[in-house]
Structure 1
Amino acid sequence: MSRNDLQVAQQAFDCWPASVFVESGMDCSDACIRLLDALDGLERGESGWRDIAALTRQVLLTSRATYGGDPEVAVPSSRNFPTVDEWQVAQCAVSLRADDRLGIRAFDWHPPAGSDGAESNRLAAEQVRAVYREVPPEGPPLLPADPFWKATHHYDCYRGETQRQAARAAVLKSGGALTVALPTGRGKTAVAWSKMLLSTHGVTVVVVPTVVLALDMERRTAEAARADNLDLSPVDRFAYIGSLDDGLKQAMRQHMRTGRQRIIYTSPEALVSGLASALLDCARAGHLQQIVIDEAHLVSQWGVDFRPEFQTMAGLIGDAYDLSPAESKPTVLLLSATLAQQALDVLSRLFTFGHRSPDLVWGSELRPEPAIFLESCPDNDRAAKILSATTNLPRPLVLYTTKVDDAKEWANALRSEGILRVGCITGESSESERRGVMEAWRGYTVSGQRITTKLDVVVGTSAFGLGVDMPNVRTVLHACMPESIDRYYQEVGRAGRDGRPSVAYLCTTPSDESVADGINRPTTIGNELGWNRWRQLLSSGKQVGPSRYRVQKSAIPVHMNEGYKQSAQWNVKTLTLMAQAGIIRLHPPTWTESVVAAGCTDVEREAFYEDLHDLLEVELLRGDCQDEIGWSAAMDEARHQVHSSQRQALASMRNLIRGDECAGRIISRHYRYRLENPSGAQLTTQPVCRGCPACRRSPDLSPGVSTPEPCPLLPFAKEESESLREWRGNQPALFIRIPSGADCQQLLVKLAQHGLSIYSGLNRSEAERLQRAVPNCPIIIDDPSAYIPLVETYEGPIVSIVATRQLPEDIHHRLSLELTTYVVGPYDIVDPDRPGQFLRDIIPSISIEALMRSL
C-alpha cells in the first residue's frame, strides 16, 4: 500500500545521496520502493533523469488518486536530478523553493482517447487514474471449498465457479486428456497440484514455456513442501533445465523412474530429449500420474515454425500413455487462459488417446484490467510518442516490438533519452540473460530473496512474458502491429495480473502493416516438393516398429546438394504440418532394445545419442494418405485451416486498430469454440471492456466489466469404470437403506474407497471428516446454492444423503433423468410419483448391513 509513500519519498530526497531505510510497519507502494532504488543508483549512472521523474510522478499520482489532495515533494536541484524543463517534460508542475530545491507536483496524462470530445478525454483520464489508485481488486466471488481442496491447499474457498469446476475435473479425471480454459489469476497452479497432493505416490510432469517460469515454480513447490513437510523430491530440486548440474539431472531422471520425484518442471525441448527415456520408464512402471502442459495454446501457435517440440511432445506423451498399465493411465492436463478454435482443434487431434478425445472445462473470460488506447501516426513520429508514454505512464512497464533488432534499438533509444532502468529480452536472449533481467525487474531472485530493483521497463518481442509471474505490471506498450489478435491479447495480459487496472497503449505506423502481414503468412511447402521431400525422408529412414520410422531432420532431397540447415527446417515444417493434418504422429527417438538390432554395441548406442538432435520418429496414421493424391488433399486441408485461422486473427487485429468497434467485443468473438457435434453449438466468451476508443465515444454501449462469470459443466467420461456398478445391475440408481438415526460414516468411507467422490446432502463438517478418513480420495460436496448444482447436471455417479422420508425434488428429478445415483436414506422414503409406494420398491435397494458385508 501507499500510506507512507510521501513521507518516505521526501525523506529520501532530503538525505540524498545517502540511502533511506524503510522502517518496519511502513506501508510503501512498489513505485515508492522503486524510486528509492533509482535514487540509490543515480550517482552510479544506473538511473537516468527520466527514471527519477517517472517514478516521482507515479508516487505523487498514487497518493492523489488514493487519498485525494494535490501532493507535492521537494527535490534537489543538483545536476544529477532532472532540470526544470525535464520535470515539465514528465508532466510535472515545478516551483522554486526558498532553499533552492524544487517543489514537484504531477499532472494527469493519458494517451490519445480516440476522440477529441470532452467526455472521451474525461473517461480516458479516469481510466488511467484508476491504475494509480491503491484499492484492492474485488476479484471473483469466493465459493466454499470442497474438502479435498481444503485438505490439499488449506484454502477455505475457491476463486469463482471456473476454478471450482476445473479443480474438481482435474482430480476426478482418470486417464485421457482434460483441457481447461481458466482465466489468469484463478489458481491454475493449485489445480495442477491437486492430484499430486491427494496421493502418496505417482509422478507429475509439468511442461512450461520458459526457464524463468520453471525456476519460479520450483521455488513455490519447495516452499509448499517445507510448509507441509512433504517429501516431493529426494534431491529437493524440481526444475529440469539446461543449466542444471549433470549429476543432479541424472539423479532426477533416476528418481523419476522409481516414482520418488513426485513433480518435475521442464520445457518441451528437455522433455523430448533428456527426459524422454525416464518418462517412458516411469510410465512403464505405472508411476506416471499426470502430465500438465501449461500455456497449452502454444502447441498450435508455436509448434510449426518455432519450437516444434511443442507438437513433437504429443507423440512422446502418447507413447507414455500406451506404455502405462491399464489400471494406472496418466491424466494429461492442458491449461490455458486463452483458447481459440484452431488451438482447441489441434489439441484435440494431438491428445486423443484411443477413442478418448479431451474433455473440456470452458471457463473462458476476458481480462477486465486493461484500458485500451490506440493511435496511428507517421513512422517518424512514433519514437516521440512512445518515449512520452514510457515517461508518463505507470511502471513496471513492458514495451513490445515484433523484430529482435527493433527491440534492441528501442532499448538503446530509451537509454539515450534518460531511461536507464530498462532491459531487453528477445528470442535470442540466453537463459542467464533472461534470468538476470527478470530478477532486476521483479526485485527478487528466483529463490524468492528480496533484492534491489534495477529495471522498471522491459523491451521485448513475443518471446518475452509467457508464464512470467509478475503480478504488478501496470502498463503494456506496443511499438508495432501484432500479427494476430492472439498475440496482442496475450501481451496485453502481461499487465494487471494482480487484478488491478492497467493501461495498454498501441501505437502503429504505416510500415507495420507489411511486417505483420509477412509474419502472419506462414510459409508452407507446396504439394509437389513436399511429397518428394516426404518420400525422400521415409525412404532414407529406418523402420523401428510397425508403421514407425526414424528419419534425419537434415536429410537433403535429391534435387538439393547443399544447404542442410535450411533443408532441416523445411523437413520439420513439412512433418509438423503433416502431424496437424493427422497423416502422421511425431515422436522423439528413444533408445530401447525393442527398436534396435540385436547385438548392438556400445559404439552404436553412443552414435545414437550423438545424432539424437538430428533424429525424429514418425508414425504413419492414415492409410488414405500414403499416396500422393490422398497426401496432397490432406495437406491442402491442413494448410487451409492454418492460413484461414491466421488470416482471421490478423483481420481481427486490423479491426481492433481501426477503433470503430469495442475492443472487448472483437476479442470475445475470437475466443469462442464451435463444438464438434451435429448441433453446431458454440461455447462463447463474454465481452469485457474497461475502456477503448469506441466505448469512450459511446459509453452507453460499452459491455463494461461486470459480466456474469462462466459456469462450466463438470465433464464425465462415460467409459470410466465404476466398481459398484454390479450392485445396480442395469439400473441407474441404487437405494441404500439405513436405520433411522444411524451413523453412516463407515458406509461413506467404503463408498469413497470404491471411487465415489461426489456427495449431496452431506454437511460440511461430515464431509471434512470423511476426507480425513480417506485422505487419498477427493471428496466433493454439491453446493445447492450453485447456479448449476452437480445433482442437476453431472452425468457421473453421485451419492445423495437423504435425512427424511420425503425424497428431495432435485434427487427425484435426477432419478427421472436416469443419472447414476446412490441414495442413502431411511427405509421408508416415499416415492413422490407413486403415493403409498416406497422408493425401495421402485429402484434396486440393499440394506446398509448387507452392502457393508459385501464391501
Structure 2
Amino acid sequence: MSEHDLSVLQNALQAWPTPAHLEAHHRISDVCRRALDAMHGLTLGESGWLDVTALVRQVLLIQGVTYGGAPSLVVPSEAPWPTADQWRDTGCDVSSLANARLRVTAELWAPPTSSPEEQEAAEEQVREVYRDLDPTWSNQIPSDPFWRAAHPDFGAYRGEPQRQAARAAALNDGGSLMVALPTGRGKTAVAWTTMLMSHTGVTVVIVPTVVLALDMERRTIDLERSTSRVLSPVHRFAYIGAMSAETKKELRAAIRTGSQRIVYTSPEAFVQGLSDAVITAAKKGLLQQVVVDEAHLVDQWGTEFRPEFQMVPGVLNAAYDAAPDDLKPSTLLLSATLAQRSVDVLESLFSKPERPMDVVWGTELRTEPSYFFSNHPSEEERTAAALKGVTLLPRPLILYTTKVEDAEQWADRLRATGLQRVAAITGKSSDEERRSVMERWRGEKPDGTPTATTLDVVVGTSAFGLGLDMSNVRTVIHACVPETIDRYYQEVGRGGRDGRPTLGYLAQAPDDMHIAENLNSIKVIGDELGWARWEAMLNQSTPVLGGSRLRIKRSSLPAHLNEGYDQHNAWNLRTLLLVTLAGAITLRAPQPDIPEGITPEERSALLDEYYEQAPDAIDIVLQDGTLMQPEAWKKAAHAVRQQIQQAQTKSLVAMQKVLAQTTCVGRTIAQHYAVTFDGARFHVSAACRGCPSCRRDPSSSPGTSPAEPAPPLPTSRTATDRMAPWRGGQGWMFISYAPGDRLDDLFARMAERGLNVWRVDLETAERLQRNVPTIPVVWDDPEPGFSPLEFHPGPLVAVVHSDEVPKRVWERISTGLPTYLIGPETLRNPSRPDSLLRDVSEGTYASAKSLLKGM
C-alpha cells in the first residue's frame, strides 16, 4: 500500500544524499521503494536522471489517483539531479523554489487516440493502473480437505476452474491430464499438490526457460523453508546446463532413489541427461508425476527449433511401461493459452490407446490489460513513440522486440536517454545474467532475502518472462509486431499477475508486418529433400536395445544433402518432426544400451560415455510401414505441412485483425482460443478492459466480468475403485451403520481403496483427511451447481444421518452413477417408503460392521 509514500519520499529528498531510513511501520508502495533505491543510485552512478523522474512522477500519480488532490514533492535541482526541463520532458509541472529546489507535480499521459471521447476513456483506463487498490476476489470457493492439507495457507480455491483442476490433478492415477487454467489461478499449487500429499516419490517439472527453472527453484526453497520439509538431499531443484557435472550427478542419483521430491528442468535435459534417472525411478515406482509447464510450447516451439519438446512423450512412455502396474506416473500438461493446434498436438503426443487424455477446460481471458496501438510511417517515428511510452507509462515495465539485436539496441538507446535501471534479456544471455536481472528487477535474492532494486525496465525477446512470478508488472510495450496472436497475448499477459490493471501498448513500423510474416512461416522441409534426408538417416541408423529402436545421429548426414549450408542438425530435426507428425515414427529419448553381467565400474563408464553422446542422438521406433515408400510418405508429409501452416496463418490473421483496430481485442482473442476436444466445443468468454474498438463504442464492450467456466471433473478412468467388487456388478451399494459402529475406521478403509469423493459434513471430511494423510479427500460441497453429486461420473460416497435419503442423492443413484450410500439401519427406501432400504435394496447391501471386518 502507498499510505506513507509521499511523506517517506519527501523526507528522503530532504535528507539526500544521506540514505533514507525506513521505519518498520511505514506502508509504502513498490514504486516508492524503487524511487528510494534510484535516488541512492544517483550517488553511485547506478541511476540516471530519467530513472528518478519517471519513478517520482509515478509516486505522485499514485497518490493523486488514489487519495485525490494535486500532490507535489520538493526536489533538488543541482547535478546529478534532473533539471527543470528534464522534469517537464517527463510529464511533470515544475516551479522554482529557494535554495536550488524545485516543486514538481505530475500530469497523466495516455497513448494518443483518434477522438476526444476515446482519449478521455483512454486516460481513465491509464488512471486505473495508478490506483493503489488491492483486487477483490468474489469467486472464492471452499477448498477440499486435501487442498488445505497440502497448502495450509490457502483457505479457499480461486474459482471453480482451479477447484476442478486441483481435484483432477490430485485424483489423476497414471493418466495424462491437460489443464487450461488462467494465469493467477494457482497452476503451480496444482502441480505441487501430489508432492506435498506424499512422503516419497519424484515430480519432474519441464519448463521452457532457464530463468523459469531458477525462479521455480527459488520458490521451492521458500516452500522447503516454510514447511520445514526436506525436498532434496542436494538442496538444489533446477537441473540446468550451468550446473557442475558433480551436482548433476548428485541430482540424478537423488531422482533414482526418490529422495529428490521435485526437480525443474528443460525438455532438452529431460530427454537427454535425465532420461535414465527418470526411467530408473519409474521402475521402482518412485516417479509420481511429470508436469509440462507452458504446454502450448510443445507445439509452438517443438515443431521447429526445439524438437525435444515433442520427444518428451518418448521418455514418458518408457517410464510408464517400466513402472509397476499400480504405480504408474501421471502426466500434467499446464497452460493458460491453448489454441486448437496446440490441443491437437498434445492429444496426439500424450494420449495412450488405453488411456485417452483428460481435460479440465478453465480458460478465461485476462481482464487486467487495456490495449493501445499506434501505427507509424517510419522506424524513427515508431522509436519516438515507444520511447515516450517507456518514459511516461508506469513501472515495472517490459519492452518486447522480435530480434535479439533489436533488444540490445533498445537497451543501449534507453541508457543514452537517461535510464540506467534497464537491462536486456535475450537468447544470448547467460544463465548468470538471467539470474542477476531477475534479482535486480524483483528486488529479491534467490533465497527470498530482500535486496535493493536496480532495474525497472527490462527489454526482452519472446521467451522473456515466460511463467515468471513477477506479479506487479504494470506496462508491456511492443516495439514490434508479434508473428502470432498467441505470442502477443502471452507477452501482454506478463503484466498484472497480481490482478491489478495493466497497460499493453504496441507501436508499429512499416517493416514489422513483413518480419512477422517471415517468422510466421515455420520452416518445414519439402517433399524431395525431406525424403532424401529421411532415407539417408535410416540408412545410417544403428539398431539399439535389442533392435527395438533405431538410433540416429543428428550430425551424421553427408555434405551433398546439406540444406542451409552448415545447418545439418536443424534440418535433420525438422525432418524427423515431420516424419513423426505424419505418423511414420515415434521419437524416443536415447537410453543407455548397457549389457547384462558387467561390473559396476564398466556400467559407470558406459553411462559416462552415454551422457557424453546423448546430445547428438535420437532414438526412433517405426510405426507405419506404408509410409516407408516415397509417394505415400510425401503425401502424408504434405498434409502435415498444410496443417501446420494453416494454424500459423490463422494466428497471424488474428494478430492482423487486432492491429486493424476495428473489432474488440478481447473478442478476437476469445474466438482464437475456442477449441474442439473429444467431440465437445470449449468456448472462452470474451473480456476487455479497454481497446480501440471498445473506446469508440463502450456499449459493445464485453467488460471485465466474463462468465466463469464450470468444467466438470474428468471421467472415472483416472480413478481406481477397488471397492467395485463389493457392489457385485450393481451401480450402487447401501451400507448401514448402528450406534457405536467404527465409522471413522470404515471411512479410512474405503478411502484407501480408491474412494476419494465424499458427500459428508465438512468436519467429517477433514477428519478423514487427517486419518489418510497421503490420500486426497474431495469434499462434495452441496452448493447447487457445483456438486459432484450430479456431475461426477466416478464413484462417490454419500453419508446420511437421518431416516430419509436426500432427494438429490437418490436421483444420482437412479441414474446408475456408481454410489456408496452409508446411512442408519432405519433408512427408508424412497421407492417404497413403507420399507427399510436394507430389506428391499435394489443395489447391494452390507452392514458397516461386516464390511469393515471383510476389508
Match of 2:533 in 1: 533
Match of 1:566 in 2: 567
The answer on 1:277 being equivalent to 2:280 is no
Match of 2:581 in 1: 580
DSSP-derived class of the 2:560 partner: coil
Q: Which deviates further from its counterpart, 13-22 or 26-35?
A: 13-22
Deviations 1:452-494 (A, max 9, x none): 1111101111021112111110000000000000000000011
| Residue type of the alignment partner of 1:645 | A
Match of 2:41 in 1: 41
Gap change, CA 1:595 and 1:49, over 3 Å in 2: farther
Contact 2:533 2:561 in 1 (8 A): no
- Structure 1 alignment gaps of length 5 or more: none
Gap change, CA 1:68 and 1:190, over 3 Å in 2: same
| CA deviation after TM superposition for structure 1 residue 601, in Å | 9.4
Q: Identify the match of residue 142 of structure 2 among 141, 144, 167.
A: 144
Matches within 5 A, 1:806-817: 806-817=804-815
Match of 1:613 in 2: 615
| CA deviation after TM superposition for structure 1 residue 283, in Å | 0.9
DSSP-derived class of the 1:823 partner: strand
| CA deviation after TM superposition for structure 1 residue 597, in Å | 12
Gap change, CA 1:696 and 1:605, over 3 Å in 2: closer
| CA deviation after TM superposition for structure 1 residue 23, in Å | 1.2
DSSP-derived class of the 1:143 partner: strand
Equivalent-residue separation in structure 2 for 1:843 and 1:674 (angstroms)? 38
| CA deviation after TM superposition for structure 1 residue 835, in Å | 4.3
Equivalent-residue separation in structure 2 for 1:52 and 1:232 (angstroms)? 42
Equivalent-residue separation in structure 2 for 1:660 and 1:58 (angstroms)? 32
Contact 1:292 1:335 in 2 (8 A): yes
Q: Which deviates further from its counterpart, 549-558 or 148-157?
A: 549-558
Match of 1:737 in 2: 736
Match of 1:685 in 2: 684
Match of 2:79 in 1: 79
Q: Which deviates further from its counterpart, 462-471 or 491-500?
A: 462-471
Equivalent-residue separation in structure 1 for 2:24 and 2:56 (angstroms)? 22
Gap change, CA 1:605 and 1:330, over 3 Å in 2: closer
| Residue type of the alignment partner of 2:2 | S
| Residue type of the alignment partner of 2:267 | P
Contact 1:37 1:453 in 2 (8 A): yes
| CA deviation after TM superposition for structure 1 residue 371, in Å | 0.6
Contact 1:584 1:621 in 2 (8 A): yes
Contact 2:208 2:267 in 1 (8 A): yes
Equivalent-residue separation in structure 2 for 1:365 and 1:798 (angstroms)? 29
Match of 2:13 in 1: 13
DSSP-derived class of the 1:43 partner: helix
Match of 1:119 in 2: 117
Q: Which deviates further from its counterpart, 594-603 or 292-301?
A: 594-603
| Residue type of the alignment partner of 1:802 | V
| CA deviation after TM superposition for structure 1 residue 119, in Å | 2.5
Deviations 1:652-710 (A, max 9, x none): 00000111100000001111111233xxx310111010000000011111000011211
| Residue type of the alignment partner of 1:205 | V
Contact 2:688 2:704 in 1 (8 A): yes
Equivalent-residue separation in structure 2 for 1:236 and 1:609 (angstroms)? 23
The answer on 1:556 being equivalent to 2:557 is yes
Gap change, CA 1:4 and 1:541, over 3 Å in 2: same
Matches within 5 A, 1:462-541: 462-541=462-541
Equivalent-residue separation in structure 2 for 1:383 and 1:525 (angstroms)? 36
Equivalent-residue separation in structure 2 for 1:209 and 1:829 (angstroms)? 56
Q: Which deviates further from its counterpart, 712-721 or 593-602?
A: 593-602
Q: Which deviates further from its counterpart, 401-410 or 577-586?
A: 577-586
| CA deviation after TM superposition for structure 1 residue 720, in Å | 4.9
| Residue type of the alignment partner of 1:795 | P
Q: Identify the match of residue 643 of structure 1 among 642, 645, 651.
A: 645
The answer on 1:542 being equivalent to 2:574 is no
| CA deviation after TM superposition for structure 1 residue 43, in Å | 3.3
Gap change, CA 1:39 and 1:629, over 3 Å in 2: same
Contact 1:178 1:334 in 2 (8 A): yes
Contact 1:660 1:693 in 2 (8 A): yes
Match of 1:818 in 2: 816
Q: Which deviates further from its counterpart, 839-848 or 536-545?
A: 839-848
Match of 2:176 in 1: 177
Gap change, CA 1:424 and 1:471, over 3 Å in 2: same
Gap change, CA 1:11 and 1:554, over 3 Å in 2: same
DSSP-derived class of the 1:559 partner: helix
Q: TM-score scaled by structure 2?
A: 0.96
Deviations 1:175-219 (A, max 9, x none): 021111111111111111111111122111111122222222222
Match of 1:286 in 2: 285
Deviations 1:314-333 (A, max 9, x none): 21111111111111100011
| Residue type of the alignment partner of 2:586 | R
Deviations 1:242-274 (A, max 9, x none): 222332221221121111111111111221222
Matches within 5 A, 1:47-446: 47-113=47-113, 115-116=114-115, 118-139=116-137, 141-154=139-152, 155-379=154-378, 380-446=380-446
| CA deviation after TM superposition for structure 1 residue 414, in Å | 1.1
| CA deviation after TM superposition for structure 1 residue 783, in Å | 0.8
| Residue type of the alignment partner of 2:187 | K
DSSP-derived class of the 1:314 partner: helix
Deviations 1:335-387 (A, max 9, x none): 11111111111111111134212210100011110010011111220111111
| Residue type of the alignment partner of 2:628 | Q
DSSP-derived class of the 1:366 partner: coil
Deviations 1:34-80 (A, max 9, x none): 11111111133321221111111100000111111100001111132
DSSP-derived class of the 1:328 partner: coil
Gap change, CA 1:465 and 1:719, over 3 Å in 2: closer
Gap change, CA 1:602 and 1:335, over 3 Å in 2: closer
| CA deviation after TM superposition for structure 1 residue 595, in Å | 11
Q: Which deviates further from its counterpart, 332-341 or 587-596?
A: 587-596
DSSP-derived class of the 2:39 partner: helix
Equivalent-residue separation in structure 2 for 1:510 and 1:583 (angstroms)? 43
Equivalent-residue separation in structure 2 for 1:280 and 1:49 (angstroms)? 56
Deviations 1:71-122 (A, max 9, x none): 0001111132222222111111111123331110001100123x31x32111
Contact 2:544 2:593 in 1 (8 A): no
| Residue type of the alignment partner of 2:453 | T
Gap change, CA 1:64 and 1:198, over 3 Å in 2: same
Equivalent-residue separation in structure 2 for 1:805 and 1:213 (angstroms)? 56
Deviations 1:828-848 (A, max 9, x none): 433333443443322211111
Q: Which deviates further from its counterpart, 218-227 or 85-94?
A: 218-227
DSSP-derived class of the 2:551 partner: strand
Q: Which deviates further from its counterpart, 631-640 or 179-188?
A: 631-640
Gap change, CA 1:786 and 1:499, over 3 Å in 2: farther
DSSP-derived class of the 1:256 partner: helix
Deviations 1:106-139 (A, max 9, x none): 01100123x31x3211111111011111100113
Contact 2:553 2:616 in 1 (8 A): yes
The answer on 1:847 being equivalent to 2:847 is yes
